[in-house]
Amino acid sequence: MPTIQEIAKLCKVSTSTVSRVLNNHPYVSEKIRREVLRVIEEMNYTPHFLARGLRTNSSKLLAVSVPKADHPFFAGLIKGISLQALESNYKVCVFQTFYCKENELELMKLLQNREVDGIILGALENLWDDIAPYLKRGPILMCNEFHETAQVPILCYNEFESGYTAVRHLIERGYRDIGFCFDTANSEAQNIRKKGYLAALADHNLPYREEWIFDGAFSILDGIRIMNRIHDLPEKKPAALFSGSDQVAAGLIKQAVNLGYSVPGDLAVIGYDNQPICRVTTPTITSIDIPVEQLGRKAVSRLLACLTEELPLKREVTLFPTELVVREST
């Protein structure tokens, strides 16, 4: 990585002149300013350097992107990220992509323009190849989402284990016909969770039916909708569901009871996230507890290490453990 001395030498100016340019100090001629910036651009400075040096005033601002802020899981993640950032005197701004590639790229432009110091991706809408070029402008890391090759820190749950554990619990409770709800196949994390579900079924020689897999499962209303679909299934219905979300589980359970099913007698349901809603439904919801605040805090520490201690960005996968919390719904 070039030093401020090397840039000064290449531009034939003093190091204090380079420093003035980097700090946008007024007493630099326009010609010299342009030349220094051109050389810096050509030498392709690393993100933390750019982030600290080229800004007039570092805003000490981090951005986090989530698909929707009104999902309790993401709301919890945002909270953990914000609390840790505040402790380090950084501000956090939250962007919602609404599952849209363009919105995610708009956020990247803030990094490009150095309006934010770094980005935490709570999901990934674009192909990684479309995001990677922005790493030249500032650090990016992935939190709650997985990617096979991205050369950045990745902090997420052991989704395979979660899926496997949930299904094994249902099997141990005597259920054999087990369905699966998930939000979107665009999420690599969700696909890994599904692999855990399928592996547990296969290991126990249990059937797998395409019509027991439900996508678009995000909310309480989705749970109600999916339960209506299950009720209308012409052939065999699942006797248990790994719902992938406490909200979905709450909707499934209430609608099942409304339609005359006994829960967990006729239908067992497992949620995901272990949110407080698990405690207020009747029956209460068995769920997978995930350390969401801890995940958010760790993501910020990792990003700040990159920004303030000049630790380089590299691929580094951290899998957080999850835990089954058994309640009445299974």
DSSP structural state of residue 3: -
75 forms part of the interface with a copy of itself (CB under 8 A)? yes
Contact predicate 65/120, CB 8 Å:
yes
DSSP structural state of residue 236: P
52 forms part of the interface with a copy of itself (CB under 8 A)? no
Pick out residues in 116-145 that bind a copy of itself (CB under 8 A). Answer: none
Pick out residues in 211-230 that bind a copy of itself (CB under 8 A). Answer: 219-221, 224
Phi, psi dihedral angles at 13 (to 5 degrees): -130, 175
Q: Which two tokens stand for residue 89?
A: 């005197």
38 forms part of the interface with a copy of itself (CB under 8 A)? no
- Out of 7, 277, 288, 306, the residue judged to bind a copy of itself by CB under 8 A: 277
Three-state SS string across 139-175, please? CEEEECCCCCCCCCEEEEECHHHHHHHHHHHHHHCCC
How far apart CA 189 and CA 197 sit, in angstroms, is 13
Helix, coil or strand: residue 178: strand
30 forms part of the interface with a copy of itself (CB under 8 A)? yes
How far apart CA 215 and CA 6 sit, in angstroms, is 55
How many residues are recorded in the chain?
A: 330
Smallest separation, CB 31 to a copy of itself (Å): 10
Q: Which residues, other chains included, contact 240 with Cβ-Cβ below 8 Å and sequence gap of 6+?
A: 170, 173, 175, 177, 178, 179, 264, 267, 268, 269, 270, 330
- Out of 26, 174, 234, 265, the residue judged to bind a copy of itself by CB under 8 A: 26
- Show the binding pattern over residues 236-275: x = contacts a copy of itself (CB under 8 A), - = does not: -----------x--xx-xx--x------------------
Smallest separation, CB 281 to a copy of itself (Å): 6
63 forms part of the interface with a copy of itself (CB under 8 A)? yes
- Out of 15, 19, 59, 191, the residue judged to bind a copy of itself by CB under 8 A: 59
Greatest alpha-carbon span in the chain? 82
- Out of 96, 158, 301, 318, the residue judged to bind a copy of itself by CB under 8 A: 96
171 forms part of the interface with a copy of itself (CB under 8 A)? no
Q: Which residue lies nearer to a copy of itself by CB, 219 or 322?
A: 219
Q: Which two tokens stand for residue 4?
A: 């401020």
61 forms part of the interface with a copy of itself (CB under 8 A)? yes
Give the interface segment with a copy of itself, choosing from 38-46, 59-67, 153-161, 301-309 (CB under 8 A).
Answer: 59-67
- Show the binding pattern over residues 6-25: x = contacts a copy of itself (CB under 8 A), - = does not: --------------------
Distances (CA, A) of 128 to 32, 137, 299: 37, 16, 19
Smallest separation, CB 201 to a copy of itself (Å): 28
Smallest separation, CB 303 to a copy of itself (Å): 16
328 exposure class (CB count in 10 Å sphere: 0-12, 13-18, 19+): middle
Q: Give the H/E segment covering residue 255.
A: helix 246-258
27 forms part of the interface with a copy of itself (CB under 8 A)? yes
DSSP structural state of residue 238: P
Give the interface segment with a copy of itself, choosing from 75-83, 177-185, 227-235, 300-308 (CB under 8 A).
Answer: 75-83
Smallest separation, CB 248 to a copy of itself (Å): 11
How far apart CA 17 and CA 319 sit, in angstroms, is 46
Residues that bind a copy of itself (CB under 8 A): 26-27, 30, 57, 59, 61, 63, 68-72, 75-76, 78-79, 82-83, 86, 91-96, 98, 103, 106-107, 110, 113, 115, 219-221, 224, 247, 250-251, 253-254, 257, 276-277, 279-282
